[in-house]
Amino acid sequence: MLIFKVLHILSMFTAVTLLIGVPIFVALAIWQRDVRGLAAVYRLARRPGNTVIGGVFLLAGVVFGLLTAATGGFDFFAGWLIAAYVMVAALILTNLLPVKQRVRQVAEEALEAEAGKRPVDDVARDMATAPIWIFTIDVALFAAIIADMVLKPF
């Protein structure tokens, strides 16, 4: 049904915006060694519920996607849908990796530096070794999922 498709697309675009937007700004601040910028972005982003809201939209998007498939005559085991399932699982699993925790730790250090509890130079040094490359995996997975949904290559 068309309404489920529209709700799927709207939910997923909202989820992508919320779940990848902040990490991109965090990565940019780290890349530029901007301790104050990192502290500001992280302070705003880590408010209770911000990540939960993105997760709710992601879950809603998955549900609406499944409803679209069920009411639109799609085969749940079509190659492109299986690829989407795998990529979504990979996206969720990458958030559990220790390198993501390291980036979050550097962001916490930036907050401490802003509060005067840690030297700014120490945080800037830690930023130089923060593995911000991990966010390229998220961006690539989101892009691949979108391409998969649009092109249905399999």
At 22, list the tokens. Answer: 């902040």
pLDDT of residue 20: 87
pLDDT of residue 21: 87
pLDDT of residue 70: 93
| Torsion region of 35: left, alpha or beta (phi above 0 gives left; psi -120 to 50 gives alpha) | alpha
pLDDT of residue 71: 94
Question: Which domain, by its residues, includes 141?
Answer: 2-151
pLDDT of residue 129: 93
Q: What total number of domains does the chain contain?
A: 1
pLDDT of residue 48: 64
Of 119, 104, 129, 113, the C-alpha closest to 26 is 104
pLDDT beneath 50, residues of the chain: none
pLDDT of residue 45: 83
pLDDT of residue 37: 96
Amino acid at 29: A
